[in-house]
């Protein structure tokens, strides 16, 4: 079941649902929200949110429950606190209103990559995104272009398969003798070159944002290509291993499918220059195939 569902028509009223289980706290709603205006993100505005509630609209779908098989959005009024993240808000909704609300999370420190959501029309990490920085009401959906398992949980198997296709591990035959107890050293310059690519947390946000990946199920995708970049550009790997990696990347569904839209770079929560890395691998593939005779 794809996430590309049309939202059911919603009444224009911003009032809380009558169901007491879904209603939340009784604090007054911000006057600008009633008027349908956007919240200007200033320090003063953020302080005004203290003690009030924020309306979140959460995507719901459960294929195993007959009356929940039709996708919908449930509304929850969550008491705002300074420093509240999107993950905090959905956790509050689950713990206080509906324990069946399902989503992934783990470290809550933007390291595990498990809580990538589609928030207000953009791929974001739930634990890194501040509620005070968003326009209200906050709309929270599962990652687009992925099959929905339940609510905000998507099937990541295909994403992981693409990541493993590029052999995301260090390979070198030129390893130090075990008896010497020597490190396989990397130069400072080379470390700086690959440093940003090592920050990938496998969240899948970039893959979800990529229009090419949405239409080509075989495309390796920006995350997998970035992982290949990390090792292909590591000067400790042998030349024949680098050539092997480039052969994987220059296939029909590899780097040449990228159309340089920068959507992956824009949504990456770790600020990895994914599009730049893909273009550099294109140049490496061209140089490898150049022959002078």
Judgement on whether residues 210 and 241 belong to the same structural domain of the protein: yes
The answer to the question of residue 115 being in a domain is: yes
| Total count of domains within the chain | 2
Higher per-residue confidence, 167 vs 292: 167
Higher per-residue confidence, 9 vs 111: 111
Given a cut of 60, is residue 18 above it in pLDDT?
no
The answer to the question of residue 175 being in a domain is: no
Q: Which of 76, 203, 98 minimizes the C-alpha distance to 142?
A: 203
Q: What is the pLDDT of residue 144?
A: 96
pLDDT digits (tens, 9 = 90+) for 252-265: 999 999 999 999 99
Q: How far apart are CA 113 and CA 97, in angstroms?
A: 26
Q: How far apart are CA 168 and CA 225, in angstroms?
A: 10
The answer to the question of residue 181 being in a domain is: no
Q: How far apart are CA 53 and CA 8, in angstroms?
A: 24
* pLDDT category of residue 175 using cuts at 50, 70 and 90: low
Tell me, what CATH number does 237's domain have?
1.10.1060.10
pLDDT digits (tens, 9 = 90+) for 202-254: 999 999 999 999 999 999 999 999 999 999 999 888 888 889 999 999 999 99
In the chain, pLDDT over 70 holds for what percent of residues? 79
What are the residues whose beta carbons fall under 8 Å from the beta carbon of 228, sequence distance 6 or more?
166, 167, 168, 220, 245, 248, 249, 281
Cα dihedral 246/247/250/251 (nearest 10): -150
pLDDT digits (tens, 9 = 90+) for 71-123: 999 999 999 999 999 999 999 999 999 999 999 999 999 999 999 999 999 99
Range of the domain at 235: 157-170+187-289
Measured at the CA of 44, the angle between CA 40 and CA 47, to 5 degrees, comes to: 105
Tell me, what CATH number does 138's domain have?
3.10.20.30
The answer to the question of residue 15 being in a domain is: no
Judgement on whether residues 161 and 282 belong to the same structural domain of the protein: yes
Q: Are 80 and 130 in contact (CB under 8 A)?
A: no
Tell me the pairing of strands 148-150 and 153-154.
antiparallel
Q: Count the Cβ atoms, other than its own, within 10 Å of residue 263.
A: 21
Q: What is the pLDDT of residue 13?
A: 41
How far is CA 95 from each of CA 100, 101, 289, rounded to the nearest angstrom? 9, 9, 57
Q: What is the pLDDT of residue 30?
A: 42
Q: How far apart are CA 118 and CA 177, in angstroms?
A: 49
């Amino acid at each position: 079941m794809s996430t590309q569902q049309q939202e059911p028509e919603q009444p224009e009223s911003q009032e809380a649902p009558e169901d007491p289980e879904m209603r939340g706290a009784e604090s007054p709603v911000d006057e600008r929200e009633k008027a349908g205006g956007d919240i200007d993100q200033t320090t003063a505005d953020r302080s005004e949110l203290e003690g009030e509630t924020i309306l979140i609209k959460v995507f719901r779908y459960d294929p195993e429950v007959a009356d929940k098989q039709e996708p919908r959005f449930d509304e929850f009024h969550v008491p705002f606190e300074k420093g509240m993240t999107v993950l905090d808000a959905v956790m509050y909704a689950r713990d206080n209103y509906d324990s069946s609300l399902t989503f992934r999370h783990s470290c809550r420190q933007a390291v595990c990559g498990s809580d990538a959501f589609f928030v207000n029309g953009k791929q974001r990490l739930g634990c890194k995104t501040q509620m005070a920085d968003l326009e209200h009401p906050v709309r929270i959906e599962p990652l687009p272009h992925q099959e929905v398992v339940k609510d905000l949980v998507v099937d990541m198997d295909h994403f992981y398969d693409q990541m493993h296709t590029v052999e995301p591990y260090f390979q070198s035959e030129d390893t130090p003798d075990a008896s010497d107890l020597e490190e396989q050293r990397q130069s400072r310059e080379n470390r700086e070159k690959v440093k940003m690519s090592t920050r990938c947390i496998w969240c899948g946000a970039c893959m979800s944002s990529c229009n090419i990946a949405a239409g080509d199920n075989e495309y390796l995708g920006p995350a997998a290509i970035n992982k290949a970049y990390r090792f292909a550009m590591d000067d400790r790997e042998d030349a024949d291993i680098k050539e092997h990696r480039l052969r994987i990347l220059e296939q029909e569904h590899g780097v040449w499918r990228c159309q340089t839209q920068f959507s992956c770079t824009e949504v990456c929560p770790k600020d990895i220059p994914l599009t730049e890395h893909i273009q550099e691998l294109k140049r490496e593939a061209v140089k490898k195939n150049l022959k002078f005779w």
